[in-house]
Structure 1
Amino acid sequence: MESLKNSRKYILMLIDIILINLSYILAYCFRFNFDIPTYELARFKNDAIIITVIYLIVFYLFKLYKNLWIYASMDEFLIAIYACIVGNLLGTIYGFTFGERLPLSVDILSGIIIIILVAGFRMSFRIVREYLDGKVKSHIIYDKRVLVVGAGKAGTMIVNEMKFCNEVNYLPVAFIDDDKYKVGTSVAGVEVMGTRNNIVQLAKQLDIDEILIAIAAIDMKTKKELLDICKETGCKVKLIPGIYEIIDGKVTLNKLREVNFEDLLGRDPVKLDMEQINDYIKGTTVMVTGGGGSIGSELCRQIIKFNPKELIILDNYENNAYILQQEFRRNGIFENVKYIITSVKDKKKLDLIFNKYRPEIVFHAAAHKHVPLMEENPSEAIKNNIFGTLNVVLCSDKYKVKKFVLISTDKAVNPTNIMGATKRVCEMIIQSIDKRSKTQFAAVRFGNVLGSNGSVVPLFIEQIKNGGPVTVTHKDINRFFMTIPEASQLVLQAGVYAKGGEIFVLDMEDPVRIYDLACDLIRLSGYVPNKDISIEFIGLRPGEKLYEEVLTKEEGLNRTCHNKIFVGRPTFEDFNSLMVKINEFKTIVEEDDREKIIYKLEEIVPTYKRFESEVAVSNFI
């Protein structure tokens, strides 16, 4: 293989020697009208070897002998031109300074001809390859007719790969671009046939199978608008990654991805006050319980950017912690991160951990969160969510943690299920102990997190891939949604504002009807809801309600300095009476008596209405 590479390099050098000298001879012919004086030829012969060597050295330094020219792009073509210009300048300087002084017109003409011959010869490899590939592709029966949205650099790269990659049976039929000056022109041999307003019409008229959104630097609002249009076509839709995801700047077909629900949300990235977050995290010891889970692991990823003195990742599930550990190590994060496998239910072990590491900030994300499972296992919900939280809270108070942030849920508001009721008790714990502790305790409440374990979106996507049916509990059920990075970043920002006792509410914008979500995902996968992929209603699950809320009537809502974060007033302060009631749970939990557990939850959380929960259970059965 090495000998083959060397042979190719020497052959290219020999051809360059011929082309360089041929260029000078042709320059002389043009300069003297093909009647070259003998003395001029003699002057050139004296300098020919040195000038040729100068060019070869420049070509070598510009790596013209290392490039694989059959795959050369515009970048390689420009480098070849730059090399020729530099070689010409150095050759001219040599002639004027040390060698025979050739006519300036000959130097200029030879430089132009060398660019044409040397760069043109190299690009001819690419031209021949594309011609041959095009001949092969012209006999292929295409699987998919494609409409490409975006006639810019990314779209051009995608279309060129479709046209000349034999393994891909995509036929680029037309471009769409909102730049009206491009409409009617051709890009990479494909006509720009309209703007976004023409997508639905052209998809039908041109019998399009798939739409590719090929705009790298696209904002979330524009993406959502395009997807809303595309889902009316019945075509499958794919996107290229965002510009920051394309590390090498190359856009290829294997980087295309399916549409996900984050795209449909159409939200711009959360803007954080990086300076304020840095001020309270940098140089501190931070603990994240449930640190290997969906929210916990993303919190850890965000926290590590602010250079804490030490990050303590505590999780009960070793696989989660291991996966995060491997990710951090791949990214060169080895030091100042500790991975501890234990349960927040183990009070003695927690005390030892707090005593050893003395965390200054605690983010408490460890919890059982699956509503139907907790309906069937109420004692585990009590032990993990209530007693586990109480253990971490008491250790935080004992070891003088500065800030404690509880990850809560909108299901804690007027709960109709055991999981939500236990999380409301957790909020009551941190609000009441805050009045007697030097630690600043606060909670952050948000809704469903897209892509988290148990999220509905991955389930829908998997059901669509399997041909359906897509299962929805109720046609009118709706939920608030956030992405994992959104939720985690806003939790960090809320930590800035925490002074003690607050429940922060994250702005999740408008709730989404789950039935509409299912329909959108089906359409953007190229299918028709209830025709190609059926939607089945399976009834509300145990503890589920149609509409979630984010605040109780008593809490009210005030703005913070961040437009995505609001704060509710503390509504519970009696820590002693709460402890009496929680301690009464110990005997009940040991008996694993569901009725007694629910009764005690109703006593502690007056807004807990198990009537709706029981209706849901009967529907589920």
Structure 2
Amino acid sequence: MSRISSLKKALNKIYFGDNIVSISELRYLPRWIILFIDIVIILISIFISYEIVLGLGVSPLNTISFAQKYLLILCVNVLFMYIFKTFSGIIRHSTFFDLFKLLLASFFTVVSLELLNLLNAAVFSFKLIRTPVLLVYFSVSFTFLFMFRLLVKEFFNIVKEFRRSSLKKRILILGIDEQAVAIGSVILDNSHLPYQVVGFITERQDSKKVRLLGKPIYSKQKVENNTKEDLGYEGVLIIKEMMSRQEMNDWVSLFLSKDIKIFKAPTVQKLRESDLSSSIKNLQIEDLLNRRPIVIENNKIKTHHQGKTVLITGGAGSIGSEIVRQVAQFNPKLIVVLDQAETPLYEIELEVRKNFPYIEFKFVLLDVRNLLRLECLFKEYKFSVVYHAAAYKHVPLVEDNPQEAVMTNISGSKNLACLSSKYSVERFVMVSTDKAVNPTNVMGATKRAAELFVQSMQNVEGNVTKFITTRFGNVLGSNGSVIPLFRKQIEGGGPVTITHPEIVRYFMTIPEACELVLEAGAMGKGGEVFVFDMGEPVKILDLAKRMIKLSGFEPNVDIKIIFTGLRSGEKLYEELLTDGAKSLATHHEKIMISEDPTVAYDSIRVLVEQLLEAAGKSNKMEVVKILKQIVPEYVSNNSIYEVLD
């Protein structure tokens, strides 16, 4: 009944509507219509069979009329069609088994008619139908019935492919090398992907008349001189691993200027048929800021972790959690993950227990300010390595709450450093920030003070722990970083807010930063401040414009950009070295040692105790005043604490 109603609906649409009927609306024809079409084909086949026989000079028998012959053949054939249910299947989904049933019905029809001939000849001494007619009919009827089903099946396949192609994104593939051709071939062979390859694009000028996979090759110049509508495509697929950062930026700038959507695909080696559709994604701003993969000395790092007990503070944060993942790859005896944030700690627990079932983990909900509880951990687990990533880092919040920053960033670091020395931890690696260099805000100053205290521990009498500090800039995708904020603002329709049109920042990916932390921790001999090569600084305004364009919008047309003014304590340019500090090269090209001024342990211990006492009394000005004594280069900017300078 549903098929009849679908047919009625389609017919009503033709009669009363716009005369347009979608193939998908017609759905499946009722069985009686299929049988009716088969009967028409049978009648035509009988007529053609007689015409062929007559053409061969064989005269038909006049024992019964043509009408009776037609009726006899038709009835017998329909009987066997009913027996084998040749009309009950869905034609567009016909299989070999359906065709085999059709063959059986035609075969038994002819055999039965011939037996009937023989029986009639034995009883009445004459045949009803000549045998040549039956043989020709068998061939003609089966061929026509088969062709009908084949044509319907192919018709629906063509319509289906046409409809699918009309919904697909028409894309060019950047490049004509083996990787580009292989990716193009995979897309063309997979009809379920929402992409249709319409050509390739290259910088070469000698490929205009050549075709790849049957598709044209466009030169870069042709793309520059035409719109995407002229060339008939909507987007471009790039394989970013096959290009240098400069090459990719040049191409992306061209595509964005043409309002062309940019997609990225992995190399064929990383591509698996099972997750092909999820492997092709929109290009993100992170892809343009990424640099070449870092080569680290895994064997040396493995030696410092394999079979060891490792403590990672701030282990639920963006940096700390990545350190957890990377350390887990080196088969430590135990990883203790410490954080005060309950939900993020639970989430990282679920993740790493699933991904590293063979590693033993301990998840501790604890604040690094709590010295007594921390000491219980050091006594129980006897750590070999400590990675200290716990800190308050949001500049405006910390500027308004300097007491809390002092207690966490300085007191917490002091607690961990002293316990590491007391319990003979092999290596203590502190994660710092470029905001600690010539700080203009409380956050940077507290991190610099923590650096100074940790460095001073190296020369304490009887100390055997190697205290190492690592310093780097912004990391892509970290909690509170600018890129997730911009992405959220763009998704919300804008505006995108920037503090100042000239503000610039260094960027590094989270995995890259953590790989360098592990490398620096392994190479450190104690007392060093390692700074990382952050590449070229990025202008935040340019970053915002590119993110808006990558999202398919036009800056200041679809998505507004507004400037809100520098926040309290914020500066335009970040630095990696303090004034007058020199940098020394290491064996790793991306890691340098900053020769910053140091402070004796006894001197900084007294100042830190005074600072913690002031923080306990909630006197902001007194806290920042002492902080400026510990970090003389700390000069407040756009802040209430400027009066102290």
Contact 2:434 2:473 in 1 (8 A): yes
**Equivalents in 1 of 2:466, 2:513: separation in Å?**
21
- Tell me how far 1:236 sits from its aligned partner: 2.3
In 2, Cα distance between equivalents of 1:425 and 1:127 = 80
Report the Cα distance in structure 2 between the residues aligned to 1:155 and 1:196, rounded to whole angstroms.
Answer: 18
In structure 2, the partner of 1:287 is 311
**Aligned partners of 2:273, 2:642: CA distance in 1, in Å?**
51
1:299 is the counterpart of 2:323: yes
Counterpart position of 1:596 = 622
Secondary structure of the residue that 2:218 maps to in structure 1?
Answer: coil
State the Cα distance separating 1:256 from its structure 2 match. 2.4
Change beyond 3 A, Cα 1:422–1:131: farther
TM-score by length of 1: 0.73
Structure-2 residue corresponding to 1:521:
547
Report whether the alignment pairs 1:563 with 2:592: no
Give the Cα–Cα distance (whole angstroms) in 2 for the partners of residues 461 and 444 of structure 1. Answer: 29
Look up the match of 1:157. 186
- Indicate yes or no: 2:393 matched with 1:369: yes
- Determine if the alignment matches structure 1 residue 444 to structure 2 residue 470: yes
CA contact (8 A) 2:583 2:594 kept: yes
Cα 1:410–1:602 shift into 2, 3 Å:
same
Q: Does 1:432 align with 2:456?
A: yes
Q: What are structure 1's unaligned runs of at least 5 residues?
A: 1-68, 72-124
- Do the aligned partners of residues 207 and 456 (structure 1) sit closer, same or farther apart at CA in structure 2, a change above 3 Å counting? farther
Q: Secondary structure at the match of 2:200?
A: strand
Structure 1 equivalent of residue 510 of structure 2: 484
What residue is the counterpart of 2:363 in the other structure?
Answer: 339
**Any idea what the Cα deviations from partners look like across 1:526-576, whole Å, max 9, x if unmatched?**
222112221111111111100001111232111000000000124213111
Deviation by residue 1:155-192 (Cα, 9 ceiling, x = unmatched): 2333454xx44x94x55443324677765444555x23
2:346 corresponds to 1:322? yes
Question: What corresponds to 2:64 in structure 1?
Answer: none
* 1:454–1:468 distance in 2 versus 1, CA, 3 Å: same
Structure 1 334/306 Cα, relative in aligned 2: closer, same or farther at 3 Å? Answer: closer
Instruction: Provide the C-alpha distance between the structure 2 equivalents of 1:264 and 1:182, rounded to a whole number of angstroms.
Output: 28
| Whole-angstrom CA distance in 2 between matches of 1:230 and 1:181 | 22
- 1:273 corresponds in structure 2 to 297
1:229 corresponds, among 238, 242, 254, to 254
Deviation at 1:243, TM superposition (A): 5.0
1:88-127 equivalence runs, <5 A: none
Match of 2:264 among 239, 248, 257: 239
Cα pair 1:472 1:536 within 8 Å, conserved: yes
Amino acid at match of 1:293: G
Partner of 1:211: 235
| Contact 2:502 2:541 (8 Å CA) reproduced | yes
TM-score by length of 2: 0.70
The one-letter amino acid of 2:619's match is: D
Give the conservation status (yes or no) of the 8 Å contact 2:411–2:612.
no
Question: 1:356 pairs with 380, 387, 391, which one?
Answer: 380
Name 2:580's counterpart in structure 1: 554
Structure 1 distance, partners of 2:270, 2:338, is: 30
Residue 534 of structure 1: aligned partner: 560
Aligned to 1:581: 607
Deviations 1:381-439 (A, max 9, x none): 01110101100011101000111111000000111111000000010001111111221
Q: Give the stretch that moved more between structures: 526-535 or 328-337.
A: 328-337
Maintained 8 Å contact 1:328/1:334: no
- Please give the alpha-carbon distance, in whole angstroms, between the structure 1 residues aligned to 2:493 and 2:239: 30
Q: Which amino acid aligns with 1:235?
A: I
- The residue aligned with 1:80 is none
User: 2:375, 2:188 → 1: CA distance?
Assistant: 61
Q: 2:533 aligns with which of 503, 507, 527?
A: 507
Is contact 1:223-1:266 (8 Å) kept? no
The SS at the match of 1:194 is: strand
Q: Structure 2 counterpart of 1:546, which letter?
A: L
Deviates more, 1:141-150 or 1:284-293: 141-150
Q: d(CA) in 2 for partners of 1:185 and 1:132? A: 33
Residues 434-476 of structure 1: CA deviation (Å, up to 9, x unaligned): 1112211110000001011011111112222222111111100
| 2:634 corresponding residue in structure 1 | 608
For the structure 1 residues 395 and 231, does the alpha-carbon distance in structure 2 shift closer, same or farther, using more than 3 Å as the test? same
8 Å contact kept, 1:157–1:251: no
Structure-1 separation of matches of 2:494 and 2:188: 32
* One-letter amino acid matched to 1:589: A
Q: Cα offset for 1:224?
A: 3.9
Q: 1:195 to 1:362 in 2, by over 3 A?
A: farther
Q: Is the 8 A contact 2:236 2:262 kept in 1?
A: yes
Confirm or deny: 8 A CA contact 2:567 2:638 kept in the other structure.
Answer: no
Once residues 498 and 129 of structure 1 are traced to their aligned partners in structure 2, the CA distance between those partners, rounded to angstroms, is 70
SS of corresponding position for 1:463: helix
Q: Output the CA distance in 1 between the equivalents of 2:360 and 2:315.
A: 15
Distance, in Å, in 1 between the alignment partners of 2:312 and 2:615 is 27
Relative distance call for 1:616 and 1:607 in structure 2 (3 A) is closer
Secondary structure class of the residue paired with 1:345? coil
The alignment partner of 2:217 has SS state of coil
1:374–1:549: structure 2 CA closer, same or farther, 3 Å change rule? same
Task: Indicate which of 150, 156, 176 corresponds to 2:201.
Answer: 176
Please say if residues 145 and 207 of structure 1, whose CA atoms lie closer than 8 Å, have aligned partners that are also in contact: no
CA shift digits 1:83-139 (9 cap, x unpaired): xxxxxxxxxxxxxxxxxxxxxxxxxxxxxxxxxxxxxxxxxx999988744423435
Corresponding position of 1:385: 409
Aligned-residue identity in percent: 39
1:490-548 residue CA offsets vs partner (Å, 9 max, x unmatched) = 00110122111111000001110000001111122222211222111111111110000
